[in-house]
Amino acid sequence: MALADTDKAQEYFSSTCAPEAGDSKAHAYHFIKSLEKVGSPKLDITSDDPLSIVFENKDGITTYVAYNPTNEEKTVTFSDGKVIKVAPKAQSEEQKVLC
C-alpha cells in the first residue's frame, strides 16, 4: 500500500497496523516515512541495472537510487538520460528538481 499511497498507508499504520510475519511495526513505520519523502516508484523510467529505481514525490522531486554490490565503480544509465556513478559496495542517490 505504501508504494502507491503513503497517506493511506499512514492512516492504516495509525489505526490497525499488523505487520506481516517477520516484520515489525518499527520497520513498517520507517518504510512509510521513507516513501513519504521520496515518493512513489516512477515505473516509466528504467535503467540498465536491476539494482536501481526511480521515485517521484508530490513536489515533483525525482530521486534516482542505485546499488553496486561489486568491487568496482559502476555507471548506471536511466532511460531518461540521467547517469549516476556508484562506488563499489555502496548505494548512491541523486535528485532532480523540476523547474
- Distance from chain centroid for Cα 70: 20
Cα dihedral value 63, 55, 8, 31, nearest 10 = -70
pLDDT in 10s for each residue of the chain, 99 residues: 677 777 777 777 776 766 666 677 787 788 888 888 889 999 999 999 999 999 999 899 999 999 999 999 999 999 999 999 999 999 999 998 776
What pLDDT sits at residue 37? 87
Contact status, residue 88 vs residue 95, Cβ threshold 8 Å: no
Fold entry, domain 39-99? Immunoglobulin-like (2.60.40)
Residue type, 31: F
**pTM as predicted:** 0.81
